[in-house]
Structure 1
Amino acid sequence: MARIFITGSADGLGQMAAALLISQGHQVVLHARNAGRGRQALLDVPGAENVLTADLSNIEETKQLAADVNALGSFDAIIHNAGVYQVSGKLIFSVNTLAPYILTALIQTPKRLIYLTSGMHLSGHPNLNFNSGGISYSDSKLYVLMLSMAVARKWPEIYSNAVDPGWVPTKMGGAGAPDNLEKGFETQAWLAVSNDEKAKVTGRYFHHKREARHHPQAGDISLQDRFLALCEQATGVPFPTS
């Protein structure tokens, strides 16, 4: 049995991954944006161990969330699932990029880290112009892939991977999204707990349990290091050296 924390698990793919993992006998701690959503999440996901609340667009709340996670003890895996789409560039950057950076840096390192990205990252721009205010969803998802790959390089003793869940019919994806919903949440759950040798890898990018083509500059070491330095500058949180 594994213990997993999942951000953004009050609804959508995060909630579905949580329910799947609980059905497999694992312990899951949920995360919601506020207390009301948290109470509802516990009703919607029977068997969840607990729920923690924090607005990931707020740096101080995100730091406190990391402290709250650590107060619960160690986790075997963390799924960085939370994300926003059709909102301002500032909000996209805060939730999709800075929040997973802060949580990665401050939470006691688990054995496995899974980051939700998107096939749209392929059209993201790796210029790291954080101060422009014009950061797109695609940019943010390229950045989180870079984070996943940087973590894999710097912490080789753990498994750190990124997942494109596909364009699936969730609240974010819309009712007409063409991809298979079940496959949209299976991969992150599989990476969190599976003993399949194909899941026990690091620094990879998956789509529906298969490695997929990713933006070539995501693996650029100098870009990754600059990205980490800029995240530290934006948040005041240094990336741990080990």
Structure 2
Amino acid sequence: MARIFITGSAGGLGLNAARALLQQGHEVVLHARDESRLASAGAVRDQAVGTVVGDLADLIETEGVAQQAGQFGPFDAVIHNAGVYSGNQIFAVNTVAPYLMTALMARPRRIVYLSSGMHRSGTPDLAGIDWTDAARRPAAYSDSKLYVTALAAAVANRWPDVESNAVDPGWVPTRMGGRSAPDDLELGHATQVWLATRSSADDHVSGGYWFHQQRRESHPAVKNVAFQSELVDALERHTGFALK
């Protein structure tokens, strides 16, 4: 049995992952932006061992989320599922929050970061970036997913005792993906569940970019150690917390 914390797990892929993990007999801690969203998790909330509330677009609230989650730890795995596609908070939610929680929380055995195939269109240029305002960056969503994919690789390099991976769930028909999204919703959460709970007898798997349990090639910048360091340094300066 594993204990797993999932951000953004009151709906969509996060809720589906939580439901699947509970059905497998694991323990799950849920997160939502506010209590009203958490209420929509229904029976899954009732089965969870704990719940955490906080807006990941806000640095102070993100610190609070990390502190709240820590009360239910230690965790075998953390799945950074929360994400937004549009608006000015893209960098804050998609990149800064996963970094800050990774820096603040006790190290789990495994970390899964939600990426996207669109990360390949991202720009590996951090010059002048405003982490609080994606409106100043036209390709903000692609950029944010490139950065969080590179973060997963950076964590894998810096913490060899932790399995850190990025997952492309596909373009699935969730609230964010839209009803016309072409990919399979049931497969959308399967890879992050698998990475979070693989048998300890399996080989150590870290630093990968995955789609439907298959390792795929990522943007070349993801594996660039210099870019990883530049990204981590920029996030440390912005948040005030180092990835030790």
Please report the TM-score for the alignment, with normalisation by the length of structure 1. 0.94
For this pair of structures, how many residues does the alignment match?
238
Contact 2:45 2:51 in 1 (8 A): no
Contact 2:163 2:205 in 1 (8 A): yes
Once the two structures are TM-superposed, the CA of residue 44 in structure 1 deviates from its matched residue by 4.8
Runs of 5+ unmatched residues, structure 2: none
Once the two structures are TM-superposed, the CA of residue 39 in structure 1 deviates from its matched residue by 2.8
Partner amino acid, structure 1, of 2:54: A
Alignment of 1:215-226 (within 5 A): 215-226=219-230
| Whole-angstrom distance in 2 between the partners of 1:102 and 1:225 | 15
Which residue in the other structure is 1:24 paired with?
24
Once the two structures are TM-superposed, the CA of residue 35 in structure 1 deviates from its matched residue by 1.6
Partner amino acid, structure 2, of 1:239: L
Once the two structures are TM-superposed, the CA of residue 158 in structure 1 deviates from its matched residue by 1.1
Alignment of 1:1-242 (within 5 A): 1-88=1-88, 91-129=89-127, 130-131=129-130, 133-134=136-137, 136-195=140-199, 200-240=204-244
| Whole-angstrom distance in 1 between the partners of 2:67 and 2:47 | 23
Partner amino acid, structure 1, of 2:147: Y
| Whole-angstrom distance in 2 between the partners of 1:99 and 1:237 | 12
| Whole-angstrom distance in 1 between the partners of 2:80 and 2:106 | 14
CA-to-aligned-CA distance 1:86-105 (integer Å, 9 cap, x gap): 212xx000000000000000
Once the two structures are TM-superposed, the CA of residue 184 in structure 1 deviates from its matched residue by 0.6
Runs of 4+ off more than 6 Å: 196-199
Runs of 5+ unmatched residues, structure 1: none
| Whole-angstrom distance in 1 between the partners of 2:27 and 2:179 | 30
Percentage identity across aligned positions?
49
Secondary structure (helix, strand or coil) at the match of 1:206 reads strand
> What RMSD in Å do the two structures reach over aligned CA positions?
1.5
Partner amino acid, structure 1, of 2:224: D
Change (3 A) 1:171 1:198: farther
Please report the TM-score for the alignment, with normalisation by the length of structure 2. 0.94
CA-to-aligned-CA distance 1:32-58 (integer Å, 9 cap, x gap): 001221233254544111110010000
Change (3 A) 1:213 1:197: farther
Once the two structures are TM-superposed, the CA of residue 200 in structure 1 deviates from its matched residue by 3.8
Secondary structure (helix, strand or coil) at the match of 1:41 reads coil
